[in-house]
């Protein structure tokens, strides 16, 4: 079995405040609601990426006076790549570069706005990515949900703008100009408006997704002769971390 450090997952993280939340989300949902939605998506994608057992996790984050660390995301404070003053484009390139600097042979970036990404798609991206092959999952809005690269084909990101509205297409075109193969992953959607938000909410309990909590373990049955007192509702030790929005905020 390959060493998990041969693979890296990359997640760009932003503080749960309006000024760090995407303009498109704020325009559609309003500043406060956009923060809650973005935070819910971020928490779920982080928990799932953290639990992925076949790769290390690289987090890119710009700290602020109110949120100097990532304890709002994880009480254990996972640490992060400092992204102070960098544009989104620079953050993506720096995160991939760090993944390879730490020894990873392959790295896959996850778009946290895409809640329908499945674990098997990540498996596929890591399996298919090599020095001559880029793995790319297109999103209906023109962005991507997964992007798999090696250090050798990192040059694919040169001259790419992640705010162009056609990032996936631009990456695919540049890869082909560099004589690289593009392995296409299944298409999916990102949460960008009321329709896609409702699609995500409606599908949460119906389809397996990378961004789903594992089912709660059923309590062990008690013997028929044992009498229990004070059996109230069991506490949930997996409650959301401080600052996480509840689903009702959506």
Determine the pLDDT at residue 220.
54
Q: How many CB atoms lie within 10 A of CB 214?
A: 9
Q: Is 220 within the bounds of a domain?
A: no
Per cent of the chain over pLDDT 90 is 68
Specify burial of residue 241 (Cβ count, 10 A radius: 0-12, 13-18, 19+): middle
Which pLDDT band holds residue 205 (cuts at 50, 70, 90)?
Answer: low
Is 189:140 a contact under the CB 8 Å cutoff? yes
Rounded Cα–Cα distance for residues 118 and 186 (Å): 10
Question: CATH number for the domain including 123?
Answer: 3.90.550.10
The 10s digit of each residue's pLDDT in 58-114 is: 999 998 889 999 999 999 989 999 998 889 999 999 999 999 999 999 999 999 999
The total number of structural domains that make up the chain? 1
H or E element in which residue 24 lies: helix 23-29
Q: Is 162 within the bounds of a domain?
A: yes
The alpha helices in the chain, defined as continuous H runs, are 23-29, 31-51, 88-101, 119-128, 167-177, 194-203
The 10s digit of each residue's pLDDT in 170-198 is: 999 999 999 999 999 999 999 999 999 99
pLDDT above 70 (res 26): yes
The 10s digit of each residue's pLDDT in 116-130 is: 899 999 999 999 999
Mean pLDDT of 194-204: 90
Q: Is 215 within the bounds of a domain?
A: no
Determine the pLDDT at residue 219.
54
pLDDT above 80 (res 2): no
Q: Is 224 within the bounds of a domain?
A: no
Rounded Cα–Cα distance for residues 11 and 112 (Å): 7
Q: Is 123 within the bounds of a domain?
A: yes
Q: Is 100 within the bounds of a domain?
A: yes
Is 43:244 a contact under the CB 8 Å cutoff? yes
Specify burial of residue 10 (Cβ count, 10 A radius: 0-12, 13-18, 19+): buried
The full length of the chain comes to 250
Which pLDDT band holds residue 204 (cuts at 50, 70, 90)?
Answer: confident
pTM of the shown model: 0.80
Q: Is 65 within the bounds of a domain?
A: yes
The 10s digit of each residue's pLDDT in 33-65 is: 999 999 999 998 998 899 898 999 999 999 888
pLDDT above 80 (res 232): no
Angle in degrees, CA 143, 102, 124, rounded to 5: 45
Q: Which structural domain range is residue 31 located in?
A: 4-208
Q: Is 219 within the bounds of a domain?
A: no
pLDDT above 80 (res 211): no
Q: How many CB atoms lie within 10 A of CB 77?
A: 11
Q: Can you say how many angstroms the Cα of residue 197 is from the centroid of all Cα atoms in its chain?
A: 16
Residue in the structure block whose two tokens are 């959506």 = 250
pLDDT above 80 (res 234): no
């Amino acid at each position: 079995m390959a060493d998990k450090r041969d693979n890296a997952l990359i997640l760009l993280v932003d503080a749960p405040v309006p000024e760090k939340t995407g303009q498109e989300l704020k325009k559609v949902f309003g500043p406060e609601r956009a923060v809650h939605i973005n935070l819910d998506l971020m928490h779920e994608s982080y928990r799932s990426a953290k639990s992925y057992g076949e790769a290390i996790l690289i987090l890119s984050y710009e700290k602020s006076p109110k949120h100097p660390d990532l304890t709002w995301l994880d009480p254990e404070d996972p640490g992060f790549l400092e992204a102070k003053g960098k544009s989104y484009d620079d953050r993506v390139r720096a995160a991939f570069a760090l993944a390879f600097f730490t020894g990873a042979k392959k790295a896959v970036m996850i778009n946290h706005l895409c809640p329908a990404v499945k674990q098997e798609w990540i498996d596929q991206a890591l399996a298919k990515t090599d020095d001559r092959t880029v793995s790319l999952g297109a999103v209906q809005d023109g962005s991507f949900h997964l992007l798999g690269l090696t250090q050798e084909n990192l040059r694919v990101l040169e001259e790419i703008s992640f705010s162009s509205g056609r990032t996936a297409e631009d990456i695919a075109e540049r890869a082909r100009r560099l004589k690289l193969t593009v392995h296409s992953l299944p298409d999916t959607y990102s949460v960008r408006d009321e329709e896609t938000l409702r699609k995500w909410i409606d599908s949460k309990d119906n389809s397996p997704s990378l961004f789903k909590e594992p089912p709660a373990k059923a309590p062990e049955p008690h013997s028929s002769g044992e009498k229990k007192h004070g059996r109230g509702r069991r506490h949930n030790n997996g409650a959301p971390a401080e600052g996480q929005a509840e689903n009702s905020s959506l």
